[in-house]
């Protein structure tokens, strides 16, 4: 209590709901360190810090690509293990990296994704895709406008992917929309 003021009145605190997906994702799994050969839990499948832009000649979705791709610093970044994409900064995302470790047929890819409310003055469509070795493993299409959405895609691998296999991530939408991809993991 402050002297002479009687009582201190503060506005009610609102929980930081935008952090809920990160909290939920980080609460999953325990045991051996992730990435260790004896880990009973999930292994990292991708490193969100390792994405590199893909040129038009290597883009898996050339028909979706705008004439000019503009994705300056701050539009696509890793934060606390989550890939964050700010579509008000990036007009299109086509990035790639190589697998750091092999993945075997029958293992399960765990791909958490979410977006905030999707808005654009004209109706449109958002498209997210993950390709591994040219195989389309994850595809998510959402109408615009649409409400915020969170989900985890579980994909059983149909074949082996050796270390060094090319992985490509594609995302486009219309409007100033915000996307997140959580830690992409392999479950054995």
Cβ count near 49 (within 10 Å): 10
Q: Is residue 19 part of a domain?
A: no
Q: What is the pLDDT of residue 127?
A: 95
Reported pTM: 0.78
Q: Is residue 36 part of a domain?
A: no
**Residue range of the domain that includes 78:** 41-187
Q: Is residue 108 part of a domain?
A: yes
Q: What is the CATH number of the domain that holds 81?
A: 2.60.120.260
Q: What is the pLDDT of residue 18?
A: 53
Q: What is the pLDDT of residue 40?
A: 63
* pLDDT tens, residue by residue, 140-187: 999 989 999 999 999 999 999 999 999 999 999 877 789 999 999 999
Q: Is residue 45 part of a domain?
A: yes
In whole angstroms, what is the distance from residue 83 CA to residue 184 CA? 10
- Where residue 6 falls (left for φ over 0; alpha for ψ -120 to 50; beta otherwise) is left
In whole angstroms, what is the distance from residue 139 CA to residue 129 CA? 4
List all residues 6 or more positions away from 145 whose beta carbon is below 8 Å from its beta carbon: 117, 118, 119, 120, 123
* pLDDT tens, residue by residue, 103-139: 999 999 999 999 999 988 888 899 999 999 999 999 9
Q: Is residue 69 part of a domain?
A: yes
pLDDT at 12 over 90: no
Quickly state the pLDDT bin for 30 (edges 50, 70, 90). very low
Q: Is residue 25 part of a domain?
A: no
The number of folded domains in the chain is: 1
Q: Is residue 79 part of a domain?
A: yes
Q: Is residue 24 part of a domain?
A: no
């Amino acid at each position: 209590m402050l002297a002479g003021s009687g009582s201190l009145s503060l506005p009610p605190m609102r929980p930081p709901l935008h952090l809920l997906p990160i909290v939920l994702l980080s609460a999953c799994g325990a045991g051996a360190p992730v990435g260790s050969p004896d880990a009973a839990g999930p292994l990292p499948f991708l490193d969100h810090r390792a994405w590199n832009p893909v040129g038009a000649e290597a883009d898996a979705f050339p028909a979706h690509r705008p004439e000019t791709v503009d994705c300056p610093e701050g539009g696509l970044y890793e934060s606390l293990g989550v890939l964050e994409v700010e579509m008000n900064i990036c007009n299109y995302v086509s990035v790639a990296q190589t697998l750091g470790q092999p993945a075997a047929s029958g293992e399960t890819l765990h791909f958490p994704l979410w977006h905030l409310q999707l808005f654009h003055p004209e109706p449109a469509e958002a498209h997210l895709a993950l390709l591994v070795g040219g195989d389309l493993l994850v595809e998510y299409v959402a109408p615009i406008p649409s409400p915020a959405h969170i989900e985890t895609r579980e994909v059983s691998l149909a074949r082996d992917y050796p270390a060094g296999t090319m992985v490509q991530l594609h995302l486009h939408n219309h409007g100033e929309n915000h996307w997140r991809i959580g830690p992409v993991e392999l479950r054995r």
